[in-house]
Amino acid sequence: MDRATGKERRPCPGFETKAKGEEFAFDLQTQSRQGQYRGESEDVTLKDFCKSFLGARPDLQPGSVEVYKNTEQRLLNYFGKGCLLTTITPQRAEMFIANLKRLEDPDGDLSAWSRSRALRNCKTMFKMAATWELIARNPFEKVQRPKCRVQPWHYLTPDDFMALLNASNGRQTVTLRQKAIYSLGYCCGLRKGEFVSLMWTDIDFAAATVTIQDRPATGKHPPFFVKDAESRTVPIPQHCLAILHDLSEVNDLTDKTPFVALDESQYKTLLSKWKRYKAEKRAWQNKDWQNNTLDTFKLRVRWAGIEPKGTLSLHTLRKSCITNWANNIKNPETVRKLAGHADLATTMKYYSQVTPDQLQQAAAVVDTLLSKMDVKWT
């Protein structure tokens, strides 16, 4: 009996923990929704849902398909192929993410970044299951993202960059093509896959711009997919444009390749690789564009005498470029658009870095303000 209302109350179970209470509520809601939307239809297994999910996403790029397949395999390994979707509760979902292991090594723990990506995929997949009314709600919806540690990376100052372009070991120097690659990263913010696959037709010398966009496969050349399908056009600084112009003239006389970053030997390797992939009916991914550019970059960094304070890779060229933009362009949205990011948070959190010069400016600002005051120390 409710003393406040005088009405008789239905007995309800007590729960030792909040989690158990939420599990009970979830089960009740699931049963209610099943009766409302699915009637007497048979429950869907995890295996069948995984198959349907990818079948409903023909828009996914080959690389994304592979990532989702990895997540599906983890789900099936943990819950079992015959597991009913309706039995995957929030508690089981959280335990799944917490206990993720390497696919190739069941005893090896998965990094926080990899678990975070798996969680993101699960949220997307089970959101679709809820949309299809196969489940009452997404059991992964409130699972918290693992804390991912952002590694410090070495900001390349303009002096560092010029030292890189002019680096030498006494016998060899940085080639003109390598200078073009490094300049596209540092001056235009191109990703590694973007400048490795860049074609001369993507550069407008008259307008001083470079366009990054999806490029379909042809009988001769493999496809290229822009990350997040965010095509963009970036202005080319004069320093970078001059290097590209010189390389274009040399390329026309020597290698004659349609790709900015590939010499004749690398181009032939690419054609052979693409031919093999087609024969094997193997999907081409952006990572398949990679060559030995990363190895030579690390060597050139040593030639330049740069001592990294944090990670330093080809991708650092892009990060340093975006940092320069962020520190000198007043409109953050402009920086996001130039970087090709889907949201500004990514730009600011992972790509923009506070430089030593900016830290010094903090003291200079205060000195400037105090200098305007006619105050004598006593």
pLDDT at 344: 73
Cα–Cα distance for residue pair 203/260, rounded to 1 Å: 9
pLDDT at 93: 96
Q: Are residues 97 and 174 in the same domain?
A: no
Q: Are residues 176 and 233 in the same domain?
A: yes
Q: Are residues 59 and 169 in the same domain?
A: no
For residue 377, tell me if it sits in a domain.
no
For residue 367, tell me if it sits in a domain.
no
Q: Are residues 125 and 163 in the same domain?
A: no
pLDDT at 245: 97
Q: Are residues 311 and 216 in the same domain?
A: yes
Q: Are residues 205 and 332 in the same domain?
A: yes
Cα–Cα distance for residue pair 180/269, rounded to 1 Å: 20
What is the token pair recorded at 226? 């822009």
Q: Give the 3-state secondary structure of residue 113.
A: helix
pLDDT in single tens digits along all 378 residues of the chain: 455 555 555 545 555 665 555 565 555 555 544 444 444 345 899 999 999 999 999 888 888 899 999 999 999 999 999 999 999 999 999 999 999 988 887 777 888 888 999 999 999 999 999 999 999 999 999 999 888 777 889 999 999 999 999 999 999 999 999 999 999 999 999 999 999 999 999 999 999 999 999 999 999 999 998 876 678 999 999 999 999 999 999 999 988 999 999 999 999 999 999 999 999 999 998 889 887 776 789 999 999 999 999 999 999 999 999 999 988 888 888 888 888 887 777 767 656 666 777 667 777 777 777 777 655 554
Q: Are residues 96 and 170 in the same domain?
A: no
Q: Which of 131, 147, 169 is the last residue of a domain?
A: 131
Q: Are residues 191 and 332 in the same domain?
A: yes
Q: What is the pTM of this model?
A: 0.71
Q: Are residues 198 and 342 in the same domain?
A: yes
Give the number of domains in the chain. 2
Q: Give the 3-state secondary structure of residue 354.
A: coil
User: What's the sign of the alpha-carbon dihedral 305, 310, 315, 318?
Assistant: negative
Cα–Cα distance for residue pair 281/227, rounded to 1 Å: 23
Q: Are residues 184 and 272 in the same domain?
A: yes
CATH number of the domain at 305, please.
1.10.443.10
For residue 66, tell me if it sits in a domain.
yes
pLDDT at 340: 85
Q: Which of 83, 112, 131 is the last residue of a domain?
A: 131
**Domain that residue 103 falls in:** 18-131
For residue 1, tell me if it sits in a domain.
no
Q: Are residues 121 and 163 in the same domain?
A: no
CATH number of the domain at 119, please.
1.10.150
Q: Which of 131, 150, 181 is the last residue of a domain?
A: 131
φ and ψ of 235, to 5 deg? -70, 145
